[in-house]
C-alpha cells in the first residue's frame, strides 16, 4: 500500500508547504490496479482518472495518485494525526474527514500528484466529470460534475 506516500502528501498539506501537492516516490500510476489504493477505487472514478491521465500525458503532464482508496482504520489514523498536529478535532477536520464521511474510504476520491497535474485537472477535469472539491486541497478530486459537465461550487475545506 502507498502508506508512506499518503502520509507524506497529507503531512505536506497539513504543514502548509505549498498549494500544490507533489508526487512522492510512492505515488501510484492511475493504471496500476494491482495497487489497492487504485484498484479499489469506484470503477467510474477510476475510468475518469485514467482518461484524464491519458489526456494530460498528451500535453506533457504526468498524473499520479498520491492517495486513493483508504481503509477506515487508515482514515482514522490520518484524522488522529491531524488532531495532534492542529490541537483540536475542529481544526483537524478542516483537512481530514472522518472515516464515516471520507470519500477516500468509499473509493470515490483521489489525491493527484505530479508537477502541474493538479492545476491541469482543475482546468480540464470537468470534461471527465472530475472536480476539485475543497479550496484548501488543490489535489483532491471527486467524480462530481453534473450531466452538463459543470462542477459544484468549491467548498472552503473538508469541514464545510
User: Which pLDDT tens digit goes with each residue over 94-117?
Assistant: 999 999 999 999 999 999 999 999
Is the pLDDT at 10 greater than 50, yes or no?
no
DSSP 3-state assignment of 60?
A: coil
Dihedral angle at the C-alpha atoms of 114, 137, 70, 126, nearest 10 degrees? -70
SS3 assignment for 112-123: EECCCHHHHHHH
User: Per-residue pLDDT tens for 59-101?
Assistant: 999 999 999 999 999 999 999 999 999 999 999 999 999 999 9
User: Per-residue pLDDT tens for 31-50?
Assistant: 999 999 999 999 999 999 99
Amino acid at each position: 500500500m502507498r502508506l508512506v506516500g499518503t502520509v507524506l502528501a497529507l503531512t505536506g498539506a497539513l504543514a502548509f508547504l505549498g498549494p500544490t501537492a507533489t508526487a512522492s516516490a510512492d505515488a501510484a500510476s492511475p493504471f496500476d490496479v494491482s495497487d489497492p489504493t487504485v484498484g479499489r477505487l469506484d470503477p467510474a472514478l477510476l475510468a475518469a482518472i485514467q482518461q484524464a491521465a491519458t489526456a494530460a500525458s498528451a500535453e506533457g503532464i504526468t498524473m499520479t495518485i498520491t492517495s486513493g482508496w483508504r481503509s477506515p482504520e487508515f482514515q482514522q489514523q490520518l484524522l488522529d494525526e491531524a488532531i495532534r498536529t492542529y490541537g483540536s478535532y475542529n481544526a483537524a477536520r478542516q483537512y481530514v474527514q472522518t472515516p464515516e464521511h471520507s470519500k477516500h474510504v468509499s473509493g470515490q476520491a483521489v489525491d493527484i500528484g505530479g508537477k502541474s497535474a493538479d492545476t491541469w485537472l482543475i482546468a480540464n477535469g470537468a470534461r471527465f466529470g472530475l472536480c476539485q472539491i475543497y479550496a484548501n486541497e488543490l489535489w483532491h478530486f471527486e467524480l462530481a460534475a453534473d450531466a452538463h459537465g459543470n462542477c459544484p461550487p468549491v467548498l472552503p475545506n473538508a469541514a464545510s
